[in-house]
Amino acid sequence: MDFDFSDDAKALREQARKFFDERAGPAVARASMNGDATFDAQLWQAVVDLGWTAARVPEAHGGVGMTSEAACVLAEEAGRSLAPIPLAQALAATEALIALGTPEQQARWLPGIADGSVVAVTGWAEGGTASPAKASAKVDGGAITGTKSPIADLAAATIAIVSAGGPDGPALYIVDLTGEGVGIAAVDTLDLVRRHGTLTLTGAAADALGSAAGYHDWLDRAAILGSFEAMGTATAAMDMAVAYAKERTAFGQKIGRYQGVKHKCADMYIKLELARAHALHAAWAMEAGAPELRQAASAARVASLDALAFAAEENVQIHGGIGFTWESDCQFYYRRNRALVAALGSRNFWADRLVRSLEQRNAIAA
């Protein structure tokens, strides 16, 4: 079976890569890190004008109506470019509304996401918890109380789709951030390019989005998008390391000629290709609604985190002492690695989820 993307998706990837190569990258990331703005508003408006926020939105709601492949390639290119914009969050929120939203909810929010007037983010974390399967925030009579932190791109957001506990486990709720009972504050994280925030909800109006089972289905979809974002960042880190190995001279020759450095670069490539195979399988499962979606999503999440962690760390090592300095761009990929690891639950959570899904599959087969 061929899990590769369609020609349309490949064309979108080429367009996105060319755009982000011209408009984003380490230089823009450094400017964002050193600046006071919460996100790059000009870059975000350009992305909206290109129709990428509308890519997954159905035509009936003012979107383009593309398949989930489009969201995957856009997430990958956004990750590769380190773009300081809420695109990855918007894609995850759109997926939640498409998969779980009622016709009324979709009609209310999707047109705004498509035209950029609504910036949507998602949030499940509550401080130190590593498991998205738990939530301390509670909903009573349509009002939500609790704290979600950290949430990437929160300061730029109009609505937040957050998890809250219920009798059957956590479920998703839509919160209008312009309403009462909403508090937003900046929070420091290791990622200095994509700003994060703390969302404090005190009896804020919350609109239920699907069920507890639907929440876990969305987690699988968000994990797939996150795996492509991680692969994009890993690819950029690997490319940076290989380029440096080709130009850095030590003891009279390029360091890329040393066997130890060659092995590091080869291992980065192998881990990345393994992650890509898992991610492509997961993307197919998401689009096809295949029964192995949870297994494929979990495997893609684990493999992509492994590839990113290895590439980000080895990129620093190959650069040697300069790789640890503030002036080096290596830090951006290492920092983003740590942020993406925490963005949707720990690696251990997803490894356990993979094992559970395999056990369930084997039990059914037996």
Longest pairwise C-alpha distance within the chain = 72
What is the full DSSP assignment across 319-344? HGGGGGSTTSTHHHHHHHHHHHHHHT
Residue 257, pLDDT score = 86
Residue 86 predicted with pLDDT over 80 = yes
Residue 5, pLDDT score = 86
Instruction: Please answer whether residues 124 and 152 qualify as being in contact, where contact means their C-beta atoms are separated by less than 8 angstroms.
Output: no
Residue 2, pLDDT score = 65
291-310, pLDDT tens digit by residue? 999 999 999 999 999 999 99
Residue 166, pLDDT score = 86
Residue 129 predicted with pLDDT over 80 = no
Continuous H helices in the chain: 7-23, 26-34, 41-49, 68-81, 87-100, 103-115, 212-247, 259-288, 293-319, 330-343, 347-365
Residue 1 predicted with pLDDT over 70 = no
Distance between CA atoms of 243 and 233, rounded to whole angstroms? 15
Beta strands in 81-190 (DSSP E): 120-123, 138-140, 143-152, 159-164, 171-176, 182-187
Residue 363, pLDDT score = 82
201-218, pLDDT tens digit by residue? 999 999 999 999 999 999
- Chain-wide mean pLDDT for the chain? 94
pTM recorded for the entire structure = 0.95
Residue 251, pLDDT score = 86
Q: For residue 111, what pLDDT band results from cuts at 50, 70 and 90?
A: very high
Region 176-187 average pLDDT: 95
- Higher per-residue confidence, 273 vs 342: 273
**What structural domains does the chain harbor?**
7-118 (1.10.540.10), 122-210 (2.40.110.10), 214-365 (1.20.140.10)
Structure tokens at 322: 């300069």
Region 57-78 average pLDDT: 95
Region 339-366 average pLDDT: 89
130-167, pLDDT tens digit by residue? 789 889 999 999 999 999 999 999 999 999 999 999 88
**CA proximity to 42, closest of 32, 55, 57, 34:** 32
Residue 365 predicted with pLDDT over 80 = no
Residue 250 predicted with pLDDT over 90 = no
Distance between CA atoms of 17 and 23, rounded to whole angstroms? 10
Lowest mean pLDDT among 192-206, 211-225, 245-259, 327-341: 245-259
